[in-house]
Amino acid sequence: MGTAERRLEILKYLCKARKATMPLLAEMFGVSIRTVQRDILEIEETFHVPLEIRCGKYDGGVYVIGDYSFDRAYMHDDELALLCKIQELVKNQLSNQENTLLAHVIKNYSKNG
């Protein structure tokens, strides 16, 4: 994975997870913490992503501020709530495979995925 691709994947991950620690990102992408720090700075500058970097043992890390989303790889809470309501209404009309698939879609597109 090249530098640009890694930075894009870090951005996508942050948009979905909303926060991450530098060591976690370094481990996930197989690079040093210093490389992740440089990547975060580039992501902020290149994509104008509203990030907050906090120091600390318990709440330290990189946080996405507000509801910023680069590629909208997840649904908003109200969209997920509607989808869950629909799932409840139609679950008896769907096969087990269709119910499993719908549950998988809901899980994949939630922020906590």
pLDDT tens, 46-84? Answer: 888 899 999 988 888 999 998 887 766 667 788 889 999
What is the pTM for the complete model shown? 0.63
pLDDT of residue 112: 63
CB atoms within 10 A of CB 57: 5
pLDDT of residue 111: 66
pLDDT at 85 over 90: yes
pLDDT of residue 71: 65
Summary mean pLDDT of the chain: 89
Per cent of the chain over pLDDT 90 is 61
pLDDT of residue 74: 67
pLDDT of residue 108: 78
